[in-house]
């Protein structure tokens, strides 16, 4: 029985499976990295907004989120990325703003690393956080 070419045939059969497996590993790692960048940007932006003056709190938070994403190499302009920042109502009994919360979230389309895995076009990554607004008497 001749075994000539058997190794090449085995390679030809297994190589596509191995490549899909490796591409899947790389894509999932890339998606986790993108999610981590979003989480860090949302936390930094929400923190910046939580310590800002009440008049421009949401603008400061939104700008800080966008700047953090830009610094990480994920620009939101034209990519379908949405940033939502709003102040949750004060639930304290005193009404002095001690319990006001700032809610920040980012939703961004997944940007695939390779085009080897179909179906990633409609997926989005989302990160959200809430922080208590810093209050200081004036």
pLDDT per residue over 40-57, tens digit each? Answer: 999 999 999 988 887 888
Q: What residues of the chain score a pLDDT lower than 50? A: none
127 located within any domain: yes
Residue 32, φ and ψ in degrees, nearest 5: -65, -40
Strands (E), the chain: 82-88, 101-109, 124-132
Query: At 19, is the secondary structure helix, strand, or coil?
Result: helix
138 located within any domain: no
- When divided into structural domains, the chain yields a total of 1
The whole domain housing 54 covers 6-132
Give the angle subtended at the CA of 86 by the CAs of 85 and 87, to the nearest 5°. Answer: 140
137 located within any domain: no
**Cα 38 from Cα 72, distance rounded (Å):** 9
99 located within any domain: yes
31 located within any domain: yes
16 located within any domain: yes
**Beta-carbon contacts of residue 134 (< 8 Å; ≥ 6 apart):** 50, 51
CA atoms within 13 A on the CB side of 41: 33
1 located within any domain: no
66 located within any domain: yes
């Amino acid at each position: 029985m001749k075994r000539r070419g058997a190794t090449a045939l085995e390679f030809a059969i297994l190589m596509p499976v191995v490549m899909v497996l490796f591409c899947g590993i790389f894509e999932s790692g890339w998606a986790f990295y993108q999610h981590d960048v979003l989480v860090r940007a949302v936390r930094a932006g929400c923190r910046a907004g939580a310590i800002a003056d009440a008049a421009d709190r949401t603008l400061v938070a939104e700008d800080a989120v966008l700047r953090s994403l830009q610094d990480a190499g994920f620009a939101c302009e034209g990519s379908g990325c949405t940033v939502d920042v709003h102040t949750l109502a004060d639930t304290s009994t005193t009404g002095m703003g001690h319990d006001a919360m700032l809610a920040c979230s980012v939703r961004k389309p997944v940007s695939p690393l390779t085009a080897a895995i179909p179906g990633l076009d409609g997926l989005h990554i989302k990160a959200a956080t809430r922080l208590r607004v810093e209050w200081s008497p004036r």
